[in-house]
Chain A
Amino acid sequence: MLVATDIHRHFEGMRAVDGVSLEVRPGKITGLIGPNGAGKSTFLAVLAGTLPATSGTIVFDGEDITRLPAYMRARRRLVRTFQLPSEFARLTVLENLLVAAPKHRGDSLFGALMGKRYWIDDERRLVGEARALLKQFGMSAKESDYAGTMSGGQKRLIEIMRALMLHPRLLLLDEPMSGVHPKIVEEIQHYLEDLRAEGLTILMVEHELHMVDRLCDTVVVMAQGKVIGSGTMSSLRRQPEIVDAYLVG
């Protein structure tokens, strides 16, 4: 589904990502782990197009997307979430989801000037879709609250729901459990298991190793901008250099 080959991302001589190659297979959850500063989030940003690659190629569903900006990758349904909360704070929770909806007749200057009657059918359909997601994630009661007033965990859920509104073919999750209350971590874990069961392909950066163990089919380990190993968690635990580099403790 996604093949990244020899990806480099340098910041004024600092090699944050240094020749990473990786393949994400459809219908699987791939984990990306490694110590802080390993380049995981930078690599994810390069895949999503929020940072350009210094060199290397990214092929998504047979198309070379290396030079495409983030918004064009998202329109191809390659969608990311962020390590830090990135909610639209002064939009309501429901509006946060509706922003992500693609192909809305009212989402252009022309559509807006045509008036509500021109786009209201799309709006009703998408509000229904967004409410179904809110119900699935147990946040129906919060739909009219400003997203900026939500807790850290709820903001994570908003990000995941927002990404799902795009019907992603590949979902890139950047530390979805980071800074989240353990109860909501459990909830997110269940939701991700449900999404996997529905066949969604996910590439996930995560520090919670028991979560990675439970959710991910394949795990890639990065350190100092390079891939130092890949496989299942149990196979990785048998590799001393990986245990030394990251898995100790």
Chain B
Amino acid sequence: MNTYYATTLVVYAGVDIIACLALNLQFGVSGIVNFSFIVFQSVGAYTAAVLSMPPDTANGGYQIYVGGFQLPFPIPWIGGALAGGLLAIPVGLVVLRKLRSDYQAISLLVLSVIVNSVITNARPFLNGAAGIAQVPGPFSDQVDPLTQSYQLLYVGLTVPCVLLVWLVASRIVNSPFGRSLRAMREHELAASALGKNPVQLKMTIFIVGGVIGGLSGAILVGYIAVWAPSEWLYPETIILFAAVIVGGRGNNLGAILGALLVPVGFFEATRLIPPTIGGWVPPPNLIPAMEWVAIGLLIIGFLWFRPEGVRPEARRVFEGGPDLE
């Protein structure tokens, strides 16, 4: 395994872990079925891109986009995270205040489709379907991105972000605030009858998830240097849901495990499938299509046979209590 492959895997794993921790806070802990999660990752990616790129006139005008501020690291990453949080405010106010949870899920799914269609077709905004290319990564003006040193540098920037997000997620999940979120997930009406403001709880965790999702997009776009609507179609959210369900809803370690098993491990494993099987050459789109079938079966299988996931949500036992059986 060469260094480039290893560092790519680590950065992808870091991005997926961050995304799954955010989705776990929203879906696993709080019960918000955010089928538009990928939109928040994308808004973070686009924001980081236009903050770090030069104006679109600077490269001969082969792509057009708003912004182009050429700001130094870490401003694009912070901007990406903030953009994710800012987007969560109007979306949350529209979707989370009045609607029942199943209608929330449908609305968020529709939002994902609409936003992708708008960005695809409104070319002057973010270069439409072609997407944005040549996004400069952090310190790419000082270290050649094609070198091994840069790959290691990127890992060095990604890992602290993963640790920071893990710390934030752990503190939330293990706190009385996390307990209120779990109570709201279990029975919203009863929680409100005990003095919990469900709209405030949902908005708070939706914004926190938006910030973290935006950060994950900012990290990813700096590494792959391109971002296009075809990369963030709504099914991408389903992969993250599969990861959280497989890993264990409500459990941060489960979310990390799910991120490693599904978006990273599962898709890497399909690379090992040989291009020809006993002389038979499969159709070119067969393997990607089978990946989606497998993801669907994985979700159904876990929901049917092990709905709590590989690492179920931990039972909170307090010091000095009775011994468990």
Residues on A lying within 8 angstroms of B by beta carbon are 48, 50, 69-71, 74-75, 79-80, 82, 86-92, 94-96, 98-102, 104, 106-109, 111-113, 115-116, 119, 122-123, 127, 140-141, 143-144, 146, 162-163, 166
- Knowing A98-B179, A99-B180, say if A74 contacts B187 (CB, 8 Å): no
- Knowing A109-B177, A116-B174, A144-B321, say if A86 contacts B187 (CB, 8 Å): yes
Q: B189 and A86: CB pair below 8 A?
A: yes
Provide the residues of chain A in CB contact with B324, threshold 8 Å. 144
> What interface size band does chain B fall in?
35 or more
B100 at the interface (CB under 8 A from A): no
Provide the residues of chain A in CB contact with B179, threshold 8 Å. 91, 95, 98-99, 107
Provide the residues of chain A in CB contact with B208, threshold 8 Å. 109
Cross-chain pair count, CB within 8 angstroms: 122
Q: List 5 A-B contacts (CB under 8 A).
A: A50-B189, A92-B315, A92-B316, A107-B180, A162-B194
Q: A48 and B186: CB pair below 8 A?
A: no
Residues on B lying within 8 angstroms of A by beta carbon are 168, 171-172, 174-180, 182-183, 186-187, 189-198, 204, 208, 250, 313, 315-318, 320-322, 324
CA separation between A110 and B187, bound complex, in Å?
Answer: 24
CA separation between A96 and B198, bound complex, in Å?
Answer: 16
Provide the residues of chain A in CB contact with B317, threshold 8 Å. 92, 144
Q: B176 and A86: CB pair below 8 A?
A: no
Sorted nearest first, the 8 A-B pairs with minimum C-beta distance are: A112-B175, A106-B176, A74-B195, A86-B190, A88-B186, A112-B177, A107-B176, A99-B183
Query: Which residue from chain A places its CB closest to the CB of B312 in the assembled complex?
Result: A90
Q: B195 and A119: CB pair below 8 A?
A: no
CA separation between A87 and B182, bound complex, in Å?
Answer: 12
Q: Could you say which of B194, B316, B318 contacts A74, with CB atoms under 8 Å apart?
A: B194
Provide the residues of chain B in CB contact with A106, threshold 8 Å. 175-177
